[in-house]
Structure 1
């Protein structure tokens, strides 16, 4: 709201100096003056006058060019001259007002000003009646607005759009009923001009009222749950406060602008306009201070973005700022005034616009099934509004400062060149930020889209669609490249806008690039190798690879290296130039082969059927089904081992899908084989000696076996050594 207040203040201050300017002389008179100044006789006379000027004559002794004096001295001289003009104009104001009264009486008759006021009030009333009629006729549109869902961003945008259309209809009806109806009749020229000026001010005030109704929804409008569909997250009390004071402030601004626009009809000089602007500025200062100090204290639920300062501290800071603006304005320091005003108004407007966009386009509640707006849409809207506000501020500053944004003439003063360069740099930086925000939002949206997770057993990473994995590999690198390109182009354009020749810089950068390339061959090798690895699609983010003595899951890339996360947690950063041959264990499919051992007496055909049945059960398990390409099956006998027959088992799955499934398979095999009497042999050691039987080596028989071995060694050392 403070940003809107500052914008209205800027409108008033923008209108005053423009209206106060003297009309330029005719071109033929300018040519005559230039010819006269080129006359040698005139030049000699002017030179003689300069040398003969008395010491107290400031005008004659002053140098022709301000550049011969210091900047502070020139500024003080301008302030002194401005205050002198005001001091000379104020005593003449009663005489000016008397002249206005005489002019009005002469043109409109004996009734004078009262008739003008009554006429303006009459046509404003007609416009208000027509505006109300348009409001009633727009009932179907208003019902459609009410029917929109306020819980979704699409519904809130629809409500704003519908209310805005209703407001446009009301504004059009008011314009037709006031200014349009007035123009249907013939009026005296001066009366016509006066009434049209103030009717235009009334139309501007009406337009601001409608905009505030659309944005703030004051409580007198009777909207249910108005807070949810406002442009800002503020309470009813704060909305009513700012609606009331902004209307008052804008009314004073509009009436003042209408009054000043009639200066030529009443014979006001530019100095008279400046003197008249001082009480207007003072009135605006009082209104702004009242609006600041009377604003309601924000409650905790209203502070969505709590500020750095409290309520009182903020009020005092704003008071100091507004009083400073008033003093700079009265002193006539036009450049400083506009700089100080823009330094607060432009960032405040950007912050307010960003908060409004984020609040209106906020995601729906969790219970609402409507999908939220894409992040790229919110970013585009936010950056577009920000860019428009800053470009508009730059255009207004250039206009009031008298800068020519389309050319860079060498004859321009130094301050003009600096200001023009700064404005161009700001616009270029914002354009670069706008483009980068869109690119970043699009890339982040593409990276954030993942395929549904099929299984995650605690060790295997979530499954990504191959195309999505490819995008997640290349898009971060593309994002870094685009950032570098945008930064370089923006810097070059900014340097060019401030008058620096960028041709030698580009040539020098090329030479430096060649020198750096020769001196950093390893880095160049890494970058080029990385480009070819990516072009060959050797690996992607999320895939498990092995290269040399390194292995792990690919986490991220840079321009010269890849980061691998080992399954034990270690993170390797490997330059592309050192990768060499790469073994990718996560591409397309993987075949896992493993062995189990059964006893020599096992019925192999029966065991094969059991293994097949277990494989089919796992293939139908919802936990493992998405991973399995071919179910587990018996390939055949691998070999005859020392303790039993070694069987070869095979399974084809998606990469990473065999880890959890193998564990489940081993548990099921042990359970099913035990139920069907199939032995899973374990290694045993038999000791032959005086003992009547063999003792299998185990934890409970280790001591007995050791005693037997010692006794045999005492009786027959040679035999015991041979047995060992």
Structure 2
């Protein structure tokens, strides 16, 4: 589905006006109908009730009732047909009434204005327009003085400074206008005009301040801001006029025509913005198909409002506006955090609370308004159907549950991710602290997965319960199903239980080198049932916990590395010991390898006397961080160089051949050389 333009955000403001008139009209009709029903419904005498019960117990009557299902169905169909005809007649009557009231719009407004002017003159007040302008001028002067006095106020956050510039003077203006309005004893009609005019001015300024803040942080473009400004001006004017007419005694049909006229103007503004919008942020111009689909969607929303399906209307508005509103709120929130705390990482608990909290507030307000419009929806299908009511309010409550679960999950996830990230002081901490952090990095991924599963189950069960589903049988069935699965998956259960006990015993941690049977490598990660080992040659072993068995951990506390060197029988062993001691001292002072050595290299002594030399053992103790191999290689190199500088050779196997055997061997060698020469000559002759 093509992406709708972001400036449809303005629809959520405009259609607020459009919902007020139908809701107000709907609240008067049920009251009259309810009074009529109350007057007509009187309890029948007990004797008639007893007689009716007696007749229903009669077998003939019961048989006659059971034999009439076809007639009852036909009657229901006839009633449904009559209901459709009644709805059509009501709609036609409403349309004719609105069309007849259209020519009276100007005269009704003029008459209401004359009544206001007459009442103001009789009480010694100026015309209402001048009164509104006077209050606005006084508030503007006080606001200007406030701007001059507080112009040098700066905040650490640029977004806070901008918000202060936008809303600080507006708050001062609102306070001043409220004080003036409350201090004067207005005539009733003049009070209505001044009240709604001031509310319209304040609401317009508040909304445009939010738009300018969004424009400053990149939440909307200049084109969108210009169209929304026109849209908001028309909307506030229409809202103020409709509210005034409602209290000034203007005919209800005329008020409805005013609402429809302003809604048509708002519709045309939005339609013009759809077809004249520029390219998006990526430079892609809008396509004709996208414009057509957006226009049709706009027409559909307007028709939904016209037929009083306000619930569906607002759902359609939210489908387009809410994602963009949340995106704009995220931009403003991130800009605030960046300028206030110099923090752009969205994975910290503070940023999670800020971002998700702002999102939750917006969604809850949207759901609250949707629930309010649904509750006051005059359409009987949407209001009086108990199953639909249960489903709708279940959706509202489920959305709140999902918001709470999402916030809990994001907070837990951010905390776990921070703990899994290596700290800057990882190499300078003590051994106990390093072990504790390694254990946390081992256990936290499993805890994160388990927490996600628990939260999903809780959310799913709560949502089903709010939708009216009885979850007791589901829980009982899940228990029985779990027992059956447990019997059929004993190997899986064995793997999971074995993994739990391995973790309780702290047998391994992420990053440690272990060996189990034919598997060895560094622990990369593990799940509930298996462990991933990275071999030093690059291959990865995924081993179920149930197959590990005994584990050899080579990354705990310290490791001892031993190797042997063969020297001739005549070698000075004491000299070799001194050389080993000097080499160990050099290794200890090495800036790269020294920090990894616990006990430096030294000669252990003669291990055994072989057939062609003496085997001398060397050894050192190092940290189990994988650097012992590099230390051993450096030790080999330094021992080779030291032996060469001190005329010490390595033992090599030698063979001695006796006299006759020596001559026989020489004769055999000469014979083989002669045979090889003859074969070579024959091969050359064959080629020629």
> How high is the TM-score relative to the length of structure 1?
0.78
Report the Cα distance in structure 2 between the residues aligned to 1:119 and 1:621, rounded to whole angstroms.
Answer: 89
**What CA distance in whole angstroms lies between the structure 1 residues aligned with 2:585 and 2:78?**
95
1: CA distance, partners of 2:654 / 2:90: 109
Q: CA deviation at 1:71?
A: 11
Which of 148, 156, 159 is 1:136 aligned to? 148
CA gap 1:77/1:329 in 2 versus in 1, 3 angstroms: farther
Does the 8 A contact of 1:231 with 1:359 survive in 2? no
On the 8 A contact 1:3/1:348 being kept in 2, the answer is no
What is the CA distance between 1:311 and its match in structure 2?
6.5
Matching of residues 303-382 of structure 1 within 5 Å: 303=282, 310=286, 314-358=290-334, 361=337, 372-373=344-345, 375-376=347-348, 377-382=350-355
Q: Greater CA deviation, 422-431 or 384-393?
A: 422-431
Matches within 5 A, 1:192-211: 192-211=191-210
Q: Deviations over 1:51-95 (max 9, x none)?
A: xxxxxxxxxxxx999995799999878865654553454354345
Q: Kindly indicate whether residue 230 of structure 2 is the aligned counterpart of residue 248 of structure 1.
A: yes
Residue 666 of structure 1, CA deviation: 0.7
Query: Which of the numbers 375, 378, 381 marks the counterpart of 1:402?
Result: 375
SS in 1 for 2:654: coil
The whole-number CA distance in structure 1 between the counterparts of 2:391 and 2:92 is 25
User: 2: CA distance between counterparts of 1:102 and 1:620?
Assistant: 101
Which segment is superposed worse, 335-344 or 557-566? 335-344
Give the drift of 1:349: 1.8
Question: Could you tell me which residue of structure 1 aligns to residue 184 of structure 2?
Answer: 185
CA distance in 1, matches of 2:454, 2:140: 55
1:119 paired residue number: 131
Superposed, which structure 2 residues align to 1:399-478 within 5 Å? 399-402=372-375, 413-450=386-423, 465-478=434-447
Higher share of residues assigned helix = 2
**Is 1:651–2:655 an aligned residue pair?**
no
> Cα distance 1:180–1:371, how it changes in 2: closer, same or farther (>3 A)?
closer
Alpha-carbon contact 1:105-1:112 (below 8 Å) kept: no
Residues in 2 aligned to 1:129 and 1:243: alpha-carbon distance in whole angstroms: 27
Give the aligned partner of residue 34 of structure 1.
38
1:547 aligned partner: 516
Kept in 2: contact 1:104–1:112 (CA 8 A)? no
CA distance in structure 1 between the partners assigned to 2:496 and 2:414 by the alignment:
26
Partner-residue secondary structure (3-state), 2:183: coil
Matches within 5 A, 1:486-501: 486-501=455-470
> Cα deviations across residues 451-472 of structure 1 (Å, max 9, x unaligned)?
66769xxxxxxx9932222122
Q: Choose from 589, 599, 608 the match for 2:568.
A: 599
Q: Distance in 1 between matches of 2:321 and 2:346?
A: 30
Deviations 1:554-596 (A, max 9, x none): 1211111112222233322222122211111111211111111
Give 1:208 deviation, angstroms: 2.3
Structure 1 residues 86-95 or 645-654, which shifts more? 86-95
Structure 1 residues 356 and 372: CA distance shift in structure 2, 3 A: closer
User: Structure 1: how far apart are the matches of 2:524 and 2:105?
Assistant: 77
- For residues 6 and 167 of structure 1, do their structure 2 counterparts lie closer, same or farther at Cα, with a shift above 3 Å needed? same
Instruction: Report SS of the residue matched to 2:659.
Output: coil
State the Cα distance separating 1:181 from its structure 2 match.
Answer: 2.5
6-15 vs 556-565, greater mean Cα deviation: 6-15
Aligned to 1:161: 160
| SS class of match (1:109) | helix
Identify if the C-alpha distance between structure 1 residues 25 and 321 changes in structure 2 by more than 3 Å, giving closer, same or farther: closer
- 1:89, 1:396 → 2: CA distance? 31
Q: Quick check: 1:527–1:559 contact (8 Å CA) kept in 2? A: yes
Q: Secondary structure at the match of 1:562?
A: strand
Task: Report the alpha carbon displacement of residue 482 of structure 1 after superposing the two structures with TM.
Answer: 0.6
Summarize the Cα distance change of 1:632–1:452 in structure 2 as closer, same or farther, 3 Å threshold.
Answer: farther
Q: 1:483: how far off?
A: 0.8
Q: Deviations over 1:519-544 (max 9, x none)?
A: 22221121111111111110111111
The number of residue pairs the alignment matches comes to 630
Superposed CA RMSD: 3.9
Q: Distance in 1 between matches of 2:367 and 2:78?
A: 26
8 Å Cα contact 2:159/2:336 also seen in 1 = no
Higher RCO (C-alpha under 8 Å, 6+ residues apart): 2
CA–CA distance in structure 1, aligned partners of residues 40 and 642 of structure 2 = 118
TM-score norm. by structure 2 comes to: 0.81
Distance 1:343 1:214, change over 3 A: closer
Q: Distance in 1 between matches of 2:124 and 2:299?
A: 38
Q: Deviations over 1:367-407 (max 9, x none)?
A: xx967546223333222222222222211111101089xxx
**Which secondary structure does the structure 2 equivalent of 1:637 belong to?**
strand
| 2:643 is aligned with 1:673 | yes
Which of 6, 10, 28 is the equivalent residue of 1:5?
Answer: 10
Offset of residue 231 of structure 1: 4.8
1:275 equivalenced with 2:257 (yes/no): yes
**Which residue in 2 is equivalent to 1:107?**
119
Q: Find 1:97's aligned residue among 103, 109, 116.
A: 109
Post-superposition CA distance 1:289-344 (Å, at most 9, x none): 3444454444xxx44xx88x746665544333323322332343333322222222
Asked if the contact 1:78–1:333 (Cα under 8 Å) also holds between the matched residues in 2, the reply is no
Shift of residue 356 of structure 1? 4.2
Mind listing any 5+ residue stretches in structure 1 that lack a counterpart?
45-62, 149-157, 218-229, 405-409, 456-462, 694-702, 712-724
Distance 1:491 1:66, change over 3 A: farther
Q: For residue 617 of structure 2, give the secondary structure of its aligned residue in structure 1.
A: strand
Cα distance between partner residues in 1 of 2:581 and 2:42? 111
What's 1:561 paired with?
530
Worse-matched range after superposition: 517-526 or 683-692: 683-692
